[in-house]
Structure 1
Amino acid sequence: MQHIILLHGALGSKDQMKPLAVELENKFQVHSFNFSGHGGRPFADTAFSIPLFAEQIAQYMHETGIAQAYIFGYSMGGYAAMYLAKHHPEKVNKLITLATKFHWDEKTAAQEVKMLNGKTIQEKVPAFAAQLQQRHAPNDWLSLLHKTSELLIDLGKQNALQLEDYTTITTPSLLLLGDRDKMVTLDETIAVYKQLPKAQLGVIPGTPHALEQANVALLAQLIKGFINEKA
């Protein structure tokens, strides 16, 4: 069977990929792992960055003996996979992203960082705070928020991938976006789609940003259709 790696987003974990993995396991050998600091995996010695997470994908592939794989990346996972495709194209057969935010500047980063205030989360959405604590134990979820905020601020100052960088990424890519996504805009997704030499674009109806609210069966169908498509 061919390998497919499923990548979670910021503040997520590999456990969120289980429903999708079930939909794909009859066609692929499905893999998933936690980025550092997520899902109980220890924090790395260095600050969070897209290059760091891309290197962790490559490290996972090396450790599991995977020379090349299909990759599905949700949100931040999609961005890390795209960075890997630029710098190590030989590792990525085809790439599918969902709800990946490609455009970052200081204003955008500041808006997103406001959503990562631990005290506010504890006061206004305590159920989410409890979920984060459970998902990332034994790590301190507040530390994870802080490190993620630093990542976004750094992206706002210097985006890991500039728009012109996508012209050199020749990996066949499918960019998916939910039509109810309030974090990622259609305009920024189309802008990247137009730069990629071998890209397709899909908008999924009735779908917000949260992966848990996506139609997993439909998502799996889109992934399988794209991978099985002849070049």
Structure 2
Amino acid sequence: MPAKPPLLLLHGALGSKDQFATLGQKLSETFEIHSLNFSGHGGRSVQPEPFTIHSFGRDVLVYLDEHKLEKPNTFGFSMGGYVALWLARFHPTRIGRIMTLGTKFNWTPQAAVKEKAMLDPDTILEKVPKFATMLKERHAPSNWRTVLHKTAEMMEGLGNGECLKDKDFEAIDHLTRICVGSEDTMVTTIESQHVAGLIPGGTFFLFNNFTHPIERADTGLLSEEITEFMTKA
């Protein structure tokens, strides 16, 4: 029986690889599933250095080396998709096809201020205590407040120019599918279509009725689309 091709799953900001449990199980029928927690996430220790797309990209490169993976096809949710595209741009020989879902591309100072405002620990604790409890449990033993602060600083950096530019997307030489949900209030169809159009091998796909959180996605439909894109000739 031939070995299954590897498929790497990358989680989003404030997330962890555990969020892919159901999706990974469905995809495991076709693929050998790989996933990792970025530094400071899912119980990994928070490093002194800032959270950056660059540092998370290095996390992936270390994982690929440790598991001897060569150019795995990759699905990235939200920030995970951004990390995958960063790898395609700056380490193109290390990654294969890419599919993103709910990845934000329109990073401006104004957008960063808006995103950062939603990451205040005290506000979250007061208004959505269940979310605060989930973050505390997800990232333990790391301090969830530290994870929030460092994520907010990363978004501020993206808004102030530490983001991929149009010329970077134009230089990506990988088959790529940029996806977004029709009900996503964090990422627009316009910015997703724009980036899909910049990437020479890029296509755009709209998931009807999908919102932003990966937990609310129809994993059956999502796994079908991932499988179709990653395996087509």
> Normalising to structure 2: TM-score of the pair?
0.97
Separation (CA, whole Å) in 2 of partners of 1:149 and 1:20? 28
What is the correspondence of 1:115-134 to structure 2 with a 5 Å cutoff? 115-134=118-137
* 2:89 equivalent to 1:86: yes
Shift of 1:169: 0.1
Query: 1:10 aligns to what?
Result: 13
Is 1:27 matched up with 2:65?
no
| Number of the residue aligned with 1:207 | 210
Percent of matched pairs sharing the same residue: 39
1:166 equivalenced with 2:169 (yes/no): yes
| Structure 1 residue corresponding to 2:39, chosen from 26, 36, 40 | 36
Query: Does 2:179 align with 1:176?
Result: yes
Shift of 1:102: 1.0
**Which 4+ runs in 1 deviate beyond 2 A?**
none
Query: Which deviates further from its counterpart, 202-211 or 159-168?
Result: 159-168
Equivalent position amino acid for 1:55 in 2: R
CA drift at 1:115? 0.4
Contact between 2:197 and 2:203, CA under 8 Å: does it hold in 1?
no
Q: For structure 2, which runs of at least 5 residues remain unmatched after alignment?
A: none
2:7 partner letter: I
1:46 corresponds to: 49
Query: What amino acid is the match of 1:135?
Result: R
Kept after mapping to 1: 8 A contact 2:124/2:131: yes
1:199 to partner: Cα distance: 1.1
Match of 1:137 among 140, 161, 186: 140
Corresponding residue for residue 220 of structure 1: 223
Amino acid at match of 1:155: L
1:155 equivalent in alignment to 2:158: yes
So what's the TM-score if we normalise by structure 1?
0.98
Aligned residues between the structures = 230
Partner letter of residue 15 of structure 2? G
SS of the aligned residue for 1:207 comes to coil
SS of aligned partner of 1:31: strand
How large is the RMSD of aligned CA atoms in angstroms? 0.8
1:105–1:159 Cα contact (<8 Å) kept: no
